[in-house]
Amino acid sequence: MLPTDGLNPAHGYVFVSISYGPTLRAAAGSVLYLMLIALLSLGIATAIATPPSPLELSSACSTCRPSSPKPSPTRCGDTSSRSPP
């Protein structure tokens, strides 16, 4: 976009400066937005690439599994709960 091609103040186009308030705000907002996208991507990549520790795996498996009913305690020598042979 050269001023010699008709893009000049004489034809209604103003020169844009980085020090102009709205231009500076748009540039800073774009940089901030792209930095947030990069950090989000880095966090997702780290979460996917890092293998979980064995402790994390065991706690995750124990919370997903239904607990089995505990057997009732019996005394040594108590034969009343046993079925006859």
pLDDT in tens, 7-36: 777 877 777 788 889 999 999 999 999 999
How many domains does the structure of the chain reveal? 1
CB 38 within 8 A of CB 45: no
Q: What count of other Cβ atoms lies within 10 Å of the Cβ of residue 76?
A: 4
Owning domain of residue 32: 3-58
Tell me the C-alpha distance between 69 and 65, whole Å. 12
End-to-end CA distance of the chain: 100
Task: Report whether pLDDT(83) > 80.
Answer: no
List Cβ neighbours of 7 (8 Å cut-off, separation of 6 or more).
Answer: 1, 13
> Do the domain assignments include residue 65?
no
Task: Report whether pLDDT(50) > 80.
Answer: no
> Do the domain assignments include residue 43?
yes
Q: What count of other Cβ atoms lies within 10 Å of the Cβ of residue 7?
A: 14
> Do the domain assignments include residue 83?
no
% of the chain exceeding 70 in pLDDT: 55
Quote the pTM value: 0.48
| 16 alpha-carbon distance from chain centroid | 38
